[in-house]
Amino acid sequence: MPDGRDIAKELCRGATRLLMQHGFATLAEVPLANGRRADIMALGRDGEIRIIEVKSSLADFRADQKWPDYRDFCDRLYFAIGHDFDDALIPPDCGLIRADAWGAALLREAPPIPLSAPRRRAVTLRFALMASQRLSRALDADFVLEL
């Protein structure tokens, strides 16, 4: 039986596939300037920034109440949940994605709360630098430079 980390990985994979099908670039496990870590951050062609909080179980949802801290770093906030999670528990002001290891469906769009221009610039730049660093590390694992 898969544990919570395995389930979260599967949900992350499915949600990422959905986002990529809609033209978003994605990164997983993104540290934010406030010390929190977004499960998935997505950057759209128009500069829109989305954060997706992955919840592998009801216990995970109840134990982790840090998700409101992500709002300052995105235009839209979503939850990605599995098929056995009661979607009525997800706050109505957040988007909702139902996912599994192979894909996902957008059940509810998140209302937009646009970032300020300086915050958008900072988050976008951090996203780009992190993506570049991860790609460079994948191409040359022996060279590590932390930004």
- Report the C-alpha gap between 88 and 40 in whole angstroms: 22
pLDDT value of residue 50: 98
Q: Whole-angstrom Cα distance, residue 144 to residue 35? A: 22
Q: How far apart are CA 49 and CA 46, in angstroms?
A: 9
pLDDT, mean of residues 127-138: 93
pLDDT in tens, 24-55: 999 999 999 999 999 999 999 999 999 999 99
pTM of the model: 0.92
Domains along the chain with CATH numbers: 4-114 (3.40.1350)
Q: What residue spans of the chain are helical by DSSP H?
A: 4-21, 58-63, 117-139
